[in-house]
């Protein structure tokens, strides 16, 4: 299974779609994430690569989110080491 989403997040790529609203982000537009989302504490609801709604599971110790096309991300990979 490809995991482009995790790769993009780890590389710090600028999102194409807003992870909280799923809206396409215009070129040059600055995205505003809540502090908890920036810290990786808040699960994204939409894939930042394609804007699809992701399957999100929130656990006591974090979350995981899956895009049917771009793979899954787990909060343990995002700086909660």
Question: Which window, 6-14, 21-29, 30-38, 40-48, contacts Zn ion (CB under 5 A)?
Answer: 40-48
How far apart are the C-alpha atoms of 80 and 14, rounded to whole Å? 20
Judged by beta carbon, residue 25 or residue 35, the one nearer Zn ion is 25
* Listed residue (17, 50, 20) closest to 35, CA to CA: 20
Q: Find residue 61's DSSP bridge partners.
A: none
DSSP-derived 3-state class of residue 26: coil
Query: Does residue number 73 form part of the binding site for Zn ion (CB under 5 A)?
Result: no
Shortest CB 36 distance to Zn ion, Å: 22
8, 47, 65, 73: residue in contact with Zn ion (rule CB under 5 A): 47
Interface positions with Zn ion (CB under 5 A): 47, 49-50, 52, 67, 69-70
């Amino acid at each position: 299974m490809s995991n482009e989403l995790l790769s993009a997040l780890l590389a710090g790529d600028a999102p194409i779609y807003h992870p909280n609203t799923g809206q396409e982000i215009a070129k040059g537009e600055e995205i505003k994430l809540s502090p908890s989302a920036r810290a990786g504490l808040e699960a994204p609801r939409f894939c930042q690569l394609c804007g699809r709604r992701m399957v999100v599971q929130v656990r006591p110790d974090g979350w995981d989110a899956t895009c049917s096309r771009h793979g899954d991300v787990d909060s343990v990979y995002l700086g909660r080491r």
